[in-house]
Amino acid sequence: MESTKSYLARISSDISRLVEDIKESVVTIITEIPHLFTLFGYRPFTGFGSGFVIEPGYIITNAHVVRNAVSVNVLYHDGSSEEATVLAVDHQRDLALLRVRRSVKPIELGDSDAVKVGELVLAIGSPLGLPGPSVTLGVVSATGRTIVGEDIILEDLIQTDAAINPGNSGGPLINVEGQAIGVTTAIIPYAQGIGFAIPINSVRRFLEMLRRFGRPVRVWIGVYVAPLNPTTASVLSLPASEGVVVVRVVPGSPAYRARIREGDVIVKANGKSVKSVKDLRIAIEESIDKGYVELELYRGRSVIRLEVPIMIEEL
């Protein structure tokens, strides 16, 4: 029987090899952002973040990492650097796509829908602007989180106890197979002892919108939702234990005009069960050609069926 010491040594060695294999695919992002100084005009402010290669010549990072930047430089693990071109920014998903000339091996993308609570993950990036990659280890604490940050609401996030600090934003959250399952974000200022990552399948949808429309677009109806659980269902005295609860309706949006209200529970979209934020988003995006999404929802114990128009907005 393998001893505990040998077992831990093997696990440690496996993690080390995993990091060694993917470290060249993780980059530090250095931005120059104009900052207004009283009486002295504008002076450059240097910002830091992380990113990772998803295809040779293409890097994914957070939108807030490159926001308002007049120049974006990519620093590779070997110390070399180059200026990057920002191809697309989606502030709603907090994602940005950069193009570089250097061809670097991409990180394999996993399936964030298959992520399980309790599985081991690594957050890799450049915390506090220190050249990376720097690695922290943790577990997936929860999935499907909806978090309100400064001027942003992020849905369907992966929660982890792996340390994520400013500068980690945009780096990959890696599973034990060496696959990226999320894009870490440090945009949540009040998080203590927990971190969050945008699911990698959201990156896939972001890229699909780019391929289809040639630019980032938002396909939406104007609601922010959170997963329903048995406790919430009991408190609201709902006959359903699965679905998504509407936590905010955007004034003037299609959902607002359709009279969807905060507290409504969406249980079906286009006739299919809605069990997560992801399910609703996919149903909406799959309804682009039709122009509307069919929703079934509970308001208290009343069942309401609606056809809600879809809006496509350039970001």
Eight-class DSSP state of 243: S
Query: Of 90, 94, 264, 279, which one is the catalytic site residue?
Result: 94
Classify burial at 245, counting beta carbons within 10 Å of its beta carbon; exposed 0-12, middle 13-18, buried 19 or more: buried
Model pLDDT, residue 193: 67
64 is catalytic: yes
- The phi-psi region of residue 33 (left if phi > 0; otherwise alpha if psi is between -120 and 50; otherwise beta) is beta
Query: Of 141, 169, 202, 276, which one is the catalytic site residue?
Result: 169
Mean pLDDT of the chain: 88
- Which tokens sit at 172? 């990959």
| pLDDT 10s digits, 285-310 | 889 889 999 999 998 888 999 999 99
* CA 254 – CA 267 distance, rounded (Å): 18
| pLDDT 10s digits, 214-237 | 888 878 899 988 888 777 777 767
- Which tokens sit at 61? 């990072």
pTM for this structure? Answer: 0.80
Share of the chain above pLDDT 70, in %: 92
| SS3 labels along 76-140 | CCCCCEEECEEEEEECCCCEEEEECCCCCCCCCECCHHHCCCCCEEEEEECHHHCCCCEEEEEEE
What structural domains and CATH numbers belong to the chain?
4-99 (2.40.10.10), 112-207 (2.40.10.10), 216-314 (2.30.42.10)
| pLDDT 10s digits, 181-203 | 999 987 665 556 688 999 999 99
94 is catalytic: yes
Query: Of 25, 50, 64, 90, which one is the catalytic site residue?
Result: 64
Q: In the chain, how long is the greatest CA-to-CA distance?
A: 72
Question: Which of 13-22, 147-156, 169-178, 235-244 tops mean pLDDT?
Answer: 169-178
